[in-house]
């Protein structure tokens, strides 16, 4: 097959191929294909470590319009393995922009593909489920060769990715006002919006690498423990799950988000499972069952916790409830223990990008820190 | 919580006649409200004076009152119907103001009826500028610095602290009426002076200028549990300074980062909570400084608005429908999303396409008007288009406007410098100036500096220009460049123009290369969930989502953007055709590009294509649908001139046109052929001729004899039509108004002075005629039928003349070979019937006739087009047995004119004269047992309540003077102060009626003495009586009338009207006024 200099291909595990144009860095990239439906926040998506090893398709057609800037970065780099858009912006227009999106993709060597029918790809994933994908914007491979390469890459199910995104040495993010509390945040791929939210509320965050020994947490005198978001299959996180159980035993307040929520769920004895194509967007309705209120929330998860949604459930740590569910498909979106200080949500109250409806959860955690402090 | 069962009946208030700033979007929202309420088993009582609406069709409510939306009438209806609640948030500012007035007058309390949606305090907090500012501050937002003023002196003082330019915004007006930007003291005096008058509370807000900032709008919904969602973000391409209704807008917002967008979202949510809109929708406008991101909250509407209609169509989230459900107690998560079925309405739609809305203006109708776009809305309609990219959507929207000069073009007649200079002022065609300027080498920076348009949009236009350059320069049109051009939204016509070849040649080439659009689905969720609603738009992308079907389909072409002469009345007919054909077992497919309408509600047809109404776009939909299943044909006779104009082209491409054939259309539209029809049938017509040059025109006019009616051929709404009394004005007309050439001849007709004009709507199936209604015009001959008040049944024609009209209509229908609707205009002069013109299509009077006679004409017409006969329709009781439709009661239609929207560049009102060119934007109907009351109702509905006391200005034509004496005496006895012009005064004096002398405007010599117009403008007159004097003093008369209209004062122009007004005033003073629902009128 002829490969035009500017052509690029999106090659799916099931043999389907979409042709587009090379954009950003050229080369080959592999991962799990996912689509996200947010109309704003591409920079936050790119820099969210949870997207590590994923090829992200943006359903919004025009991407790159507002460029990239330092203050909207959710981590130190771009994590997606490739980025697929319909219409990249020919110029950047925003007073805060520092660099263009394409420059940034080139800087991190992120392969891009543009000019494809992103809606067609999205509908395909919706029907067939998330799967492995390869983006090829360089080289002379035949269709068969490209598909074979894709099929030789690892599946997302069963992937352990936390150590690839976690920091190596602990870091401190100081409180902006006062320093009422100090918490340990296990970095499984944390977004910077999370410590920012704590800092605003007078909480100092000590960011710990994923492999931190539990004794270090227990001896650290932390007022609480935060379990961050991150990439990978929660069923592979046995070590961290064991650590969380110790923290639960110690009655140190726990707050988990996304991957952290799945880990708390497992610590409570629930299984996790892979969703067909996941939830990725910033328009997702979640019902807070304790308040009977709808929250519009940011989602980015391919796995979910299997927990009984009717009434209370019991765990070795006492009774608990599914506090939040997705109104779109009934997926468990929040867990809360009733007798111990632990709760978690599957979605992103820190937003970035996305709405701030669930920001109150940070207040609730801070309140919990207060209640359990010096007990 | 499920629905509130204490609400058993609801009064829905509509928005009245279509005016600039308040158009058929409120028919769309009101119709949705009525449907929802009835589906919930709530008894619906509806009041709306506008007969052209779908919502006022008897089947949409339990009791439909086509009555004036005034406190008196509303009270009478409330007293009779005793609704539990009033829903006033879906009828625009008119309904909201009416509800506030009912509250003020204690009527709500008296009848213990509550407002649902927004309550009075919330409405006040949202609409009162001072209260709103306080709220914005409280939630941490910023407003533009401003000062509230109640007097002109206060305005001058405030402007000194705010610095010029200052923005003037009158309180409680709609569509930005009376607002503007003053660059100096002289302008401030004009704008603020008028603004104080327009404001019902004599209040204007002067504000620091944020002209040139980026402008955004968010559509917000809240339920009683305090759940809030943002339905849509809209970004204005035209920055601050142009009313959002006059701006080109896009959805979603495209030039904000998430951080900035979330700030707007947070503010919007805090504001709706603080204002306390309990349930339903509102929109909030923001300005963002492009240099530093400073956000200023501009305003909110605590109700469903024009933007909500746009947002509903843009996202597939039906705001009015959901708002109604919320108003009766549901919460957002209890309401399913219609489109996905499985997910709830408590979410925020996300778009994987771009929506562009472009306003359509009517400045050609008002050549004197100031064409600069300001904060007062001036557009009369809008087109919306969707595409998978901004360039695609933009170019589709531009061609959807169906207006010469709107599509981007690369034939340059102006220099870059000239364009850069003129684009500084926003006008109708600024975007085209921008495009041409960029094409001629102006930089994005230069254009941004001149216009304030965000560089991102300019860069996209530059992409279009670059492709145009390639198209022009390439050796041949290969598949690759053609495909890229189509992806950029280029039409075949544009490509043809760039290549110097015909559109059809481009199309043939494209088809040979298998380049066809695909159709995507509007699904509210960017593909995350399956969509069950076939709401489509085209795009040159990879995969299509059209599902196969088995039922035979009928495609109905809508009428495109609203314009003067082609508005909601045509949409009404299209919607009825959808309902009737769907009921008859066909799959209905609607193509239209007007976001304001009921026809573009995905609930109306089985499939909806939001597409431009051009030959190319319709052919493509036809092609896609033929591939999906059997297609019976296309109906072109219901949407007005737009689809009718496409019929021949479609037929040529082999598309079956059902209903009246293309040949028949041509027979009626072509002067020569129509002349032949008249000759063969032996019918009278005013003498006429066709001229291809001025010399010929002069000859023809001399042969026929003056006065003559001159006009270009093939027009709607009397475009370019004029009555010419002598050779000099004929020459003037030809030089000024026409491109006379062999392709565009000028038609010249003898004008029958002092004739009675008659309009007829009829149905014909090839055998039988059903004469649906005979309308007699109340205005003098020479006024366009669309601008003239008329009455069913006619008041001054004999039984034998009625039979002659029937016989003549039958002859015409047969000779033209109509299948469906036929509209004929007649004139009766000296007892003789003349045929003026025949239109083989739905007319703008179809809804009015349908309502007056209780027969759905559009429904019958659609069924005739599908092959049913009139005899069969009679069997089905869709048509009555009688040959001629009879009205229940007497129904008077009155036109509403947009004079108050247009000012000259010197700030004065445009010189408003009516003539053969249509200028009205909307209409009202009054229905009553006698002509007088019906007429009075129509006047009240059009111009506001009749006064119960105060001052009356009277100026009468000589022939009317004696007839008017008794009415004048009654007014005098009722305690009105009478002002009269000299002639009228002397007659009245001789009858012992005392009046104060006031001079005509034309008699006025200096500023010290006041003319009638001055009195009206200064607000000293409460009622104007002015019967036309004939052609010499017409100008005086219309000047009086236009100032009355501009000030919202009832204006009576006929003796029957005067008598009616007097009886109306008496009845207003004497107690209960009479109201009757359409259901009661038609009850046997």
- pLDDT score for B608: 98
A137: Cβ contacts below 8 Å, ≥ 6 apart: A7, A8, A9, A22, A23, A26, A27, A28, A111, A112, A113
Residues near B922 by beta carbon (within 8 Å), at least 6 away in sequence: B17, B18, B19, B23, B50, B52, B567, B568, B895, B896
| Chain B contact set for A59 (CB, 8 A) | 350, 352, 526-527
Confirm whether A7-151 and A162-373 share one CATH topology: no
- Lowest-confidence range among A248-257, B556-565, B710-719? B710-719
Distance from CA of B265 to the nearest CA of A (A): 8
Helix (H, G, I), strand (E, B) or coil at B116: strand
Of B259, B529, B542, the CB nearest to A72: B259
Which residues of chain A have a CB within 8 Å of the CB of B541? 117, 119-120
Percent of chain B scoring above 90 in pLDDT: 66
Element (H, E) at B62: none
Q: What is the phi-psi region of residue B897: left when phi exceeds 0, alpha when psi lies from -120 to 50, beta otherwise?
A: beta
- B166, B182 in Cβ contact below 8 A? yes
Written as one string, the DSSP assignment of B913-932 is ---SS----EEEEEEESSHH
**Hey, which residues does A318 pair with through a beta bridge?**
A315
For residue B426, give the nearest of B293, B300, B240 by alpha carbon: B240
Q: How much of chain A is helix, strand and coil, in % rounded to 5? A: 25, 35, 40
Q: Do B290 and A39 touch (CB under 8 A)?
A: no
Q: Is the pLDDT of residue A38 over 70?
A: yes
Fold of A162-373: Rossmann fold (3.40.50)
Q: How close A329 comes to chain B (CA, Å)?
A: 7
Q: Which of B916, B928, B760 is nearest to B835 (CA)?
A: B760
Please give the share of chain B, as a percent, with pLDDT higher than 70: 94
Tell me the nearest-neighbour CA distance from A182 into chain B, angstroms.
Answer: 27
**Sheet with B722-724, edge to edge strand ranges:** B688-691, B746-750, B708-712, B722-724
The two three-digit tokens of residue B36, written as one number: 């929802």
Helix (H) or strand (E) holding A109, with range, is none
Half-sphere exposure of B144 (CA within 13 A, CB side): 26
Q: For residue B736, name the pLDDT band (cuts at 50, 70, 90).
A: low
What's B143's DSSP letter? B
Picking from B127, B57, B58, B144, the residue whose alpha carbon sits closest to that of residue B89 is B127
A102 is catalytic: no
Backbone angles phi, psi at B893, to 5 degrees: -105, 135
pLDDT category of residue B12 using cuts at 50, 70 and 90: very high
Distances (CA, A) of B312 to B325, B332, B519: 15, 16, 19
Contact A293 B227 (CB under 8 A): yes
| B28-47: pLDDT as tens digits | 999 999 999 999 999 999 99
DSSP A148-185: HHHHTSPPSTT---HHHHS-SS-EEE--SS---EEEEE
Of the candidate CATH numbers 3.30.465.10, 3.40.190.10, 3.50.30.20, 3.30.300.30, the domain formed by A7-151 belongs to 3.50.30.20
Distance CA A76, CA A147 (A): 32
Nearest-CB residue to B527 (from A59, A96, A294): A59
Summarised one tens digit per residue, pLDDT across range B857-897 is 999 999 999 999 999 999 999 999 999 999 989 999 999 88
Q: Omega into B271 within 30° of 0, i.e. cis?
A: no
Q: For residue B207, what are its two tokens?
A: 């504000």
Q: How far, in Å, CA of B133 to CA of B436, rounded?
A: 41
Quote the DSSP letter at residue B329: T
Active site residue A348: yes
CB A116 within 8 A of CB A18: yes
> Does any CB of chain A come closer than 8 Å to the CB of residue B337?
no
How do beta strands B820-829 and B832-839 pair? Answer: antiparallel
Kindly state the tokens that stand for B3: 């629905």
Query: ω before A353 within 30° of 0 (cis)?
Result: yes
CA distance B340 to chain A (A): 10
Q: Does residue B236 contact residue B215 with C-beta atoms inside 8 Å?
A: yes
E strand intervals along A68-157? 82-84, 87-88, 111-114, 132-136
> Which of A62, A116, A283 lies closest to B254 in CB terms?
A62
Residues of chain A neighbouring B520 (CB-CB closer than 8 A): 119
Please, which residues bridge with residue B230 across strands? B220
Consecutive H or E run containing B770: strand B769-777
Q: Is the pLDDT of residue A4 over 50?
A: no
B759 CB-near residues (< 8 Å, 6+ apart): B774, B775, B777, B785, B790, B823, B824, B825, B826, B843, B845
List the end-to-end C-alpha distance of chain A, in Å, as a whole number. 70
Active site residue A32: no
d(CA A123, CA A120): 5
User: What angle (nearest 5°) sits at the alpha carbon of residue A64, between those of residues A61 and A66?
Assistant: 120
Inter-chain touch B225–A292, beta carbons under 8 Å: yes
Beta bridge partners of B206: B147, B168
- Cα angle A235, A236, A238 (rounded to 5 degrees) comes to 90
Mean pLDDT of B515-521: 98
Single out the residue of B761, B731, B754 nearest to residue B1030, CA to CA: B754
pLDDT tier for residue B1029 given thresholds of 50, 70 and 90 = low
Eight-class DSSP state of A349: T
CB A40 within 8 A of CB A61: no
Whether chain A has a CB inside 8 Å of the CB on B367: the answer is: no
Rounded to the nearest 5 percent, the helix, strand and coil shares of chain B are 40, 20, 40
Give strand pairing partners of A28.
Answer: A136
pLDDT score for B903 = 74
A285–B344 C-beta distance less than 8 A: yes
Token reading at B937: 């109702």
Q: Is the peptide bond before B793 cis (omega within 30 degrees of 0)?
A: yes
For residue range B642-696, what is the model confidence (pLDDT) as tens digits?
A: 999 999 999 999 999 999 999 999 999 887 899 899 999 999 888 888 888 888 8
- pLDDT band with cut points at 50, 70 and 90 for residue B174: low
pLDDT at B951 over 50: yes
Average pLDDT over residues B327-338: 94
- Burial letters B237-272, b for 16+ CB under 10 A, else e: bbbbbbbbbbbbbbbbbbbbbbbbbbbbbbbbbbbb
Q: Look up the ipTM and state it.
A: 0.97
> The tokens of B418 are what?
């000239």
- Mean model confidence pLDDT for chain B: 90
Range B946-950 average pLDDT: 86
Of A37, A86, A283, the CB nearest to B388: A86
The secondary element (H helix, E strand) that includes residue B665 is: helix B662-669
Paired strand residues for B558: none
Q: Which two tokens stand for residue B38?
A: 């009835």
pLDDT of amino acid A71: 94
Q: Quick one: CA torsion of B50, B52, B55, B56, rounded to 10 degrees?
A: 60
Q: Does residue B1077 surpass a pLDDT of 50?
A: yes
Per domain, the residue ranges of chain A are 7-151, 162-373
* The predicted structure's pLDDT at residue B1032: 42
Residue to mutate among B256, B267, B352, with most A CBs inside 10 A, is B352
* Contact: B456, A91; criterion CB under 8 Å: yes
Q: Are B10 and B116 in contact (CB under 8 A)?
A: yes
pLDDT per residue as tens digits for the range A151-203: 999 998 899 999 999 999 999 999 998 889 999 999 999 999 999 999 999 99
The answer to whether the beta carbons of residues A363 and A374 sit under 8 Å apart is no
Asked if the C-beta of B354 comes within 8 angstroms of chain A's C-beta atoms, the answer is yes
The active-site residue out of A32, A258, A301, A324 is A258
Residues 6+ apart with CB under 8 A from B284: B217, B218, B220, B267, B268, B271, B272, B297, B299, B300
């Amino acid at each position: 097959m002829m490969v035009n200099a500017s052509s690029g291909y999106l090659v799916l595990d099931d043999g389907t191929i979409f042709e587009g144009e090379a954009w950003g860095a050229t080369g080959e990239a592999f991962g799990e294909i996912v689509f996200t439906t947010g109309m704003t926040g591409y920079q936050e998506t790119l820099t969210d470590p949870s997207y590590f090893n994923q090829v992200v398709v943006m359903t919004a057609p025009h991407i790159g319009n507002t460029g990239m800037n330092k203050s909207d970065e959710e981590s130190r780099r771009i994590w997606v393995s490739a980025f697929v858009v319909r219409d990249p912006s020919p110029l950047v227009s925003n007073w805060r922009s520092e660099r263009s999106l394409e420059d940034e993709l080139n800087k991190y060597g992120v392969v891009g593909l543009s000019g494809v029918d992103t809606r067609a790809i999205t509908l395909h994933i919706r029907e067939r489920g998330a799967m492995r994908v390869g983006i090829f914007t360089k080289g002379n491979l035949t269709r068969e060769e490209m598909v074979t390469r894709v099929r030789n890459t690892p599946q997302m199910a069963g992937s352990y990715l936390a150590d690839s995104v976690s920091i190596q040495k602990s870091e401190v993010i100081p409180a902006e006002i006062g320093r009422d509390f100090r918490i340990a945040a296990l970095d499984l791929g944390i977004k910077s919006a999370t410590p920012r939210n704590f800092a605003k509320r007078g909480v100092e965050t000590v960011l710990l690498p994923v492999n931190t020994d539990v004794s270090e947490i227990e001896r650290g005198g932390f007022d609480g423990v935060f379990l961050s978001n991150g990439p990978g299959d929660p069923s592979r996180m046995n070590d961290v799950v064991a650590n969380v159980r110790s923290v639960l035993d110690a009655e140190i307040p726990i707050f988990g988000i996304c991957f952290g929520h799945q880990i708390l769920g497992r610590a409570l004895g629930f299984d996790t499972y892979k969703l067909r194509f996941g939830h990725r967007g910033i328009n997702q309705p979640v019902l807070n069952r304790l308040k009977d209120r709808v929250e519009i929330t940011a989602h980015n998860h391919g796995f979910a916790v299997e927990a009984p949604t009717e009434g209370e459930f019991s765990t070795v740590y006492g009774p608990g409830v599914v506090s939040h569910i997705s109104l779109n498909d009934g997926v468990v979106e929040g867990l809360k223990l009733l007798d111990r200080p632990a709760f978690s949500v599957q979605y992103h109250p820190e937003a970035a990008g996305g709405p701030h409806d669930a920001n109150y959860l940070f207040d609730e955690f801070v309140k919990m820190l207060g209640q359990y402090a010096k007990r | 919580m499920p629905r509130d069962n204490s609400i058993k009946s609801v009064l829905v208030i509509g928005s009245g006649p279509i005016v600039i700033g308040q158009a058929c979007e409120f028919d769309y929202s009101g119709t949705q409200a009525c449907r929802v309420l009835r589906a919930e088993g709530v008894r619906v009582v509806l009041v709306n004076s506008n007969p052209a609406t779908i919502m006022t069709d008897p089947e949409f409510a339990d009791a439909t009152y086509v009555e004036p939306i005034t406190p008196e009438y509303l009270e009478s209806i409330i007293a009779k119907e005793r609704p539990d609640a009033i829903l006033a948030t879906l009828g625009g500012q008119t309904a909201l103001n009416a509800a506030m007035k009912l509250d003020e007058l204690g009527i709500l309390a008296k009848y213990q009826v509550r407002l649902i949606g927004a309550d009075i305090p919330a409405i006040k907090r949202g609409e009162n500028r001072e209260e709103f500012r306080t709220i914005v501050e409280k939630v941490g937002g910023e407003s533009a610095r401003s000062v509230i003023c109640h007097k002109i002196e206060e305005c001058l003082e405030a402007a000194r602290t705010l610095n010029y330019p200052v923005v003037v915004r009158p309180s409680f007006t709609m569509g930005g009426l009376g607002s503007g930007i003053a660059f100096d003291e002289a302008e401030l005096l004009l704008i603020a002076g008028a603004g104080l008058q327009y404001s019902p509370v004599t209040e204007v807000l002067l504000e620091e200028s944020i002209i040139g900032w980026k402008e955004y709008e968010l559509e917000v919904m809240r339920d009683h549990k305090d759940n809030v969602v943002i339905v849509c973000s809209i970004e204005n391409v035209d920055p601050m300074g142009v009313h959002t209704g006059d701006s080109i807008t896009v959805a979603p917002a495209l030039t904000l980062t998430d951080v900035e967008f979330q700030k707007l979202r947070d503010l919007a949510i805090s504001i709706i909570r603080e204002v306390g809109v309990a349930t339903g929708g509102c929109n909030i406008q923001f300005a963002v400084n492009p240099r530093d991101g400073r956000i200023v909250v501009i305003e909110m509407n605590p109700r469903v608005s024009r933007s909500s209609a746009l947002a509903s169509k843009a996202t597939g989230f039906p705001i009015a429908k959901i708002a109604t459900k919320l108003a009766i107690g549901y919460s957002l998560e209890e309401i399913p999303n219609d489109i996905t079925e499985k997910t709830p309405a408590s979410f925020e739609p996300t778009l994987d396409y771009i929506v562009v809305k472009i306003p359509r203006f009517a400045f050609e109708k008002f050549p004197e008007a100031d064409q600069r776009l300001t904060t007062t809305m001036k557009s009369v309609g809008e087109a919306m288009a969707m595409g998978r990219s901004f360039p695609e959507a933009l170019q589709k929207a531009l061609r959807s406007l169906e207006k010469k000069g709107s599509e981007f073009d690369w034939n340059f007649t102006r220099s870059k410098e000239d364009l850069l200079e003129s684009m500084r002022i926003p006008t109708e065609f600024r975007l085209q100036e921008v495009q041409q300027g960029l094409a001629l080498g102006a930089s994005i920076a230069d254009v941004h500096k001149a216009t304030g348009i965000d560089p991102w949009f300019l860069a996209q236009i530059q992409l279009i220009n670059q492709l145009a350059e390639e198209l022009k320069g390439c050796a041949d049109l290969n598949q690759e460049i053609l495909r890229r051009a189509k992806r950029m939204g280029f039409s075949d016509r544009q490509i043809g123009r760039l290549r110097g070849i015909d559109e059809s040649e481009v199309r043939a080439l494209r088809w040979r290369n298998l380049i066809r659009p695909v159709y995507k689905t509007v699904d509210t969720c960017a593909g995350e969930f399956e969509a069950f609603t076939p709401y489509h738009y085209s795009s040159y992308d990879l995969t299509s989502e059209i599902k196969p079907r088995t039922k035979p389909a009928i495609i109905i072409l809508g009428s495109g953007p609203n314009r003067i002469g082609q508005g909601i009345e045509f949409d009404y007919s299209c919607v009825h055709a959808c309902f009737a054909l769907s009921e008859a077992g066909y799959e209905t497919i609607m193509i239209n590009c007007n976001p304001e309408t009921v026809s573009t509600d995905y609930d109306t047809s089985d499939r909806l294509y939001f597409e431009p109404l051009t030959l190319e776009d319709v052919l493509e939909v036809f092609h896609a649908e033929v591939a999906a299943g059997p297609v019976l044909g296309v109906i072109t006779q219901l949407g007005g001139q737009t689809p009718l104009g496409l019929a021949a082209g479609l037929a040529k491409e082999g598309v079956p046109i059902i209903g009246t054939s293309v040949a028949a259309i041509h027979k009626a539209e072509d002067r020569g052929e129509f002349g032949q029809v008249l000759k063969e049938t032996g019918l009278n017509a005013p003498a006429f001729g066709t001229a291809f040059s001025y010399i010929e025109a002069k000859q023809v006019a001399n042969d026929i004899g003056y006065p003559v009616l001159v006009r270009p051929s093939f027009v709607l709404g009397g475009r370019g039509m004029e009555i010419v009394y002598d050779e000099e004005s004929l020459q003037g007309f030809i030089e000024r108004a026409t491109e006379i050439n062999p392709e565009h001849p000028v038609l010249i007709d003898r004008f029958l002075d002092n004739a009675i004009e008659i309009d007829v709507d009829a149905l014909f199936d090839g055998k039988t005629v059903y004469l649906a209604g005979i309308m007699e015009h109340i205005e003098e001959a020479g006024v366009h039928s669309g601008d003239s008040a008329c009455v069913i049944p006619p008041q001054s024609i004999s039984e034998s003349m009625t039979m002659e009209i029937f016989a003549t209509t039958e002859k015409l229908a047969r000779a033209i070979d109509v299948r469906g609707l036929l509209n004929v205009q007649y004139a009766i002069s000296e007892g003789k019937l003349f045929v003026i013109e025949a239109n083989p299509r739905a007319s703008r009077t179809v809804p009015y006739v349908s309502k007056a006679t209780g027969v759905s004409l559009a429904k019958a017409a659609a069924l005739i087009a599908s092959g049913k006969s009139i005899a069969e329709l009679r069997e089905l009781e869709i048509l009555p047995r009688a040959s001629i439709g009879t009205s229940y009661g007497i129904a008077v239609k009155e036109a509403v004119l947009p004079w108050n929207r247009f000012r000259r560049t010197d700030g004065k009102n445009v010189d408003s004269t009516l003539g053969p060119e249509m200028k009205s934007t909307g209409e009202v109907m009054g229905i009553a047992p006698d002509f007088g009351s019906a007429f009075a109702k129509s006047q009240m509905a059009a111009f506001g309540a009749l006064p119960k006391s105060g001052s009356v200005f009277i100026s009468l034509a000589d022939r009317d003077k004696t007839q008017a004496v008794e009415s004048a005496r009654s007014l005098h006895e009722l305690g009105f102060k009478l002002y009269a012009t000299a002639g009228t005064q002397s007659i009245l004096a001789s009858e012992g009626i005392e009046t104060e002398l006031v001079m005509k405007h034309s008699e006025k010599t200096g500023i010290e003495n006041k003319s009638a117009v001055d009195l009206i403008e200064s607000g000293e007159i409460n009622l104007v009586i002015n019967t036309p004097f004939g052609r010499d003093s017409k100008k005086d008369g219309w000047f009086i009338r236009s100032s009355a209209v501009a000030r919202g004062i009832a204006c009576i122009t006929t003796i029957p009207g005067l008598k009616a007004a007097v009886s109306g005033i008496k009845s207003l003073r004497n107690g209960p006024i009479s109201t009757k629902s359409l259901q009661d009128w038609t009850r046997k």
